[in-house]
């Protein structure tokens, strides 16, 4: 169990022991995302990022952005699901809770998530103290069509109020829209950072991962190193932001061309004490920004609340310090399996396997020397 080592690991990686800053991060609560894409716009504007593509329609619901990339650092995914998929999501979420992992239990705000995993596992070991709405320790599935935004639904102090809600299925009862704003995960163990051969990628005093575009030589190793497909080399793109319109076409150079680009968690804003552009603009506070510990606490509190309302499809992504990347700086609450959103279900930073790969390379090298030696010894003149 290394739950408590999470942040010290990240700090040690960056050698920022005395910076006096806490690790910063996002908590993206997709259950209250309305798909307005204000985050995408704010991100593009603030970071002066070129447009992707030629504004074509991609045929994927309202998502005409496609994916995260060199020029797109926030990407809102849209998924349309029918009853069958909703039930499947609820079932897979229930399985996740049933794994012997910590049971659902209400968290007082003060203690919630201070030791997320250890504390929760402890609770599981000492017998479930979770909310047991039915016999198997899980809340019963409520009728379809609960409006998450309806008054009372989101009020953590009154989960019983769910009974008083108007549960008459609206005309979209057999359908739901998943909307999720994806972003760089700012991993505790960042694959892109580990493999960067120039030191262009570095860990900031906020424990985020940022590219120095004046150092990057565009080798592209980080692109392969990212388990989430976030970072990318900016090989093309056009730019014509409102302030640029008076410039000649020849002047409209794409900034930082042919170097790796990705979300900086608005490093330039953080050093000024500001919050990232996407979080500031988000009208529903689906994107929350703050100290990473607080974000994880909020995530745990929110998931407990949703589960208590019977929404077992809700799950956290990136809040576990024992996962393959040591937990992510950007934590998500999602409502279906990660791959539904285009997220990897079990990402693992490749650096974890590197010692073993170097050992194999060493063995291979010795074998090659031996083979060459034998070739000369076995050869006649």
Partner 1 sequence: MVEDVEFTSYYGRPIVKAPPWGDEISLYLFLGGLAGGSSLLGLGAQFSDRPGLRIATRFTAITATGIGGAALVADLGRPERFLNMMRVFKVSSPMSMGTWILSGFGVGSGILAAIEVDRLTGEKLLPLGPLRAVLHAFETPAALESALFATPLAAYTGALLGDTAVPTWNAAGRNGLSYVFVSSAAVAAGGAAMALVSVREAGPARLFALGGAAGEMIAMDQMKKRMHPAEVDPMEEGEPGHKLHRAEKLLIAGAIGTAVAEVGARVFAKKLGGGWKTRTALRALSVVSGAALAAASAYTRFGVLEAGIESTKDPRHVVEPQHARLAERRARGIVDDSITTGV
Site for partner 1 in 244-273 (CB under 8 A): 257-260
Q: Is 108 in the site for partner 1 (CB under 8 A)?
A: no
- Distance from chain centroid for Cα 286: 13
Site for partner 1 in 151-210 (CB under 8 A): 191, 194-200
| The binder of partner 1 chosen from 32, 41, 96, 252 (CB under 8 A) | 96
Q: How far is it, in rounded angstroms, from Cα 301 to Cα 314?
A: 12
Site for partner 1 in 33-92 (CB under 8 A): 58-60, 63, 66-67, 69, 77, 79, 85
In angstroms, what is the C-alpha Rg of the chain? Answer: 24
Residue among 104, 350, 131, 113 at smallest CA distance from 226:
350
In the complex with partner 1, which residue's Cβ is closer, 149 or 368? 368
Q: Is 142 in the site for partner 1 (CB under 8 A)?
A: no
Q: Is 353 in the site for partner 1 (CB under 8 A)?
A: yes
Q: How far is it, in rounded angstroms, from Cα 38 to Cα 58?
A: 19
In the complex with partner 1, which residue's Cβ is closer, 163 or 371? 371
Q: Are 146 and 153 in contact (CB under 8 A)?
A: yes
Q: Is 376 in the site for partner 1 (CB under 8 A)?
A: yes
| The binder of partner 1 chosen from 8, 19, 48, 101 (CB under 8 A) | 101
3-state secondary structure (DSSP) of residue 365? helix
Number of residues that bind partner 1 (CB under 8 A): 112
Owner of token pair 């169990």: 1
The stretch among 23-31, 167-175, 214-222, 239-247 that binds partner 1 (CB under 8 A) is 214-222
Q: How far is it, in rounded angstroms, from Cα 349 to Cα 207?
A: 17
Q: How far is the CB of 27 from partner 1 (least distance, A)?
A: 14
Q: How far is the CB of 20 from partner 1 (least distance, A)?
A: 26
Q: How far is the CB of 134 from partner 1 (least distance, A)?
A: 16
Could you give phi then psi for residue 350, rounded to 5 degrees?
Answer: -65, -25
Q: Is 344 in the site for partner 1 (CB under 8 A)?
A: yes
CA dihedral 262, 264, 268, 274 (to 10 degrees): 130
Q: Is 319 in the site for partner 1 (CB under 8 A)?
A: yes
| Residue 175: exposure state from Cβ atoms within 10 A (0-12, 13-18, ≥19) | middle
């Amino acid at each position: 169990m290394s739950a408590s080592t999470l942040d010290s690991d990240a700090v040690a990686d960056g050698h920022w022991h005395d910076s006096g800053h806490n690790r910063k991060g996002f908590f993206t609560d997709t259950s209250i995302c309305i798909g307005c894409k204000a985050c995408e716009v704010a991100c593009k504007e603030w970071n002066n990022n070129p447009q992707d593509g030629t504004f074509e329609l991609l045929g994927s619901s309202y998502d005409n952005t496609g994916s995260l990339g060199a020029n797109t650092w926030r990407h809102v995914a849209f998924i349309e699901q029918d009853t069958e998929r909703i039930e499947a999501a609820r079932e897979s979420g229930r399985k996740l809770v049933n794994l012997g992992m910590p049971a659902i239990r209400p968290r007082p705000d003060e203690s919630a998530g201070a030791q997320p995993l250890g504390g929760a596992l402890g609770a599981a070991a000492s017998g479930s103290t979770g909310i047991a709405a039915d016999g198997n320790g899980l809340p019963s599935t409520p009728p379809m069509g609960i409006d998450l935004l309806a008054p009372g639904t989101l009020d953590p102090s009154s989960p019983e109020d769910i009974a008083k809600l108007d549960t008459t299925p609206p005309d979209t009862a057999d359908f739901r829209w998943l909307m999720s704003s994806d972003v760089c995960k700012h991993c505790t163990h960042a694959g892109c950072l580990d493999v960067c051969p120039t030191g262009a990628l570095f860990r900031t005093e906020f424990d985020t991962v940022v590219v120095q575009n004046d150092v990057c030589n565009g080798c592209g190793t980080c692109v392969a190193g990212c388990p989430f497909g976030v970072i990318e080399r900016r090989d093309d793109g056009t730019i014509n932001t409102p302030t640029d319109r008076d410039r000649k076409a020849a002047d409209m150079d794409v900034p930082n061309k042919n170097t790796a680009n990705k979300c900086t968690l608005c490093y330039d804003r953080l050093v000024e004490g500001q919050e990232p552009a996407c979080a500031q603009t988000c009208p529903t506070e689906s994107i929350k920004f703050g100290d990473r510990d607080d974000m994880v606490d909020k995530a745990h509190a929110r998931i407990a609340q949703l589960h208590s309302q019977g929404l077992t499809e809700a799950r956290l992504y990136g809040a576990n310090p024992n996962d393959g990347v040591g937990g992510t700086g950007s934590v998500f609450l999602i409502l279906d399996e990660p791959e539904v959103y285009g997220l990897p279900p079990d990402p693992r930073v490749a650096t974890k396997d590197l010692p073993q790969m170097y050992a194999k390379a060493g063995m291979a090298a010795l074998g090659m020397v031996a083979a060459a030696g034998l070739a000369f010894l076995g050869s006649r003149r």
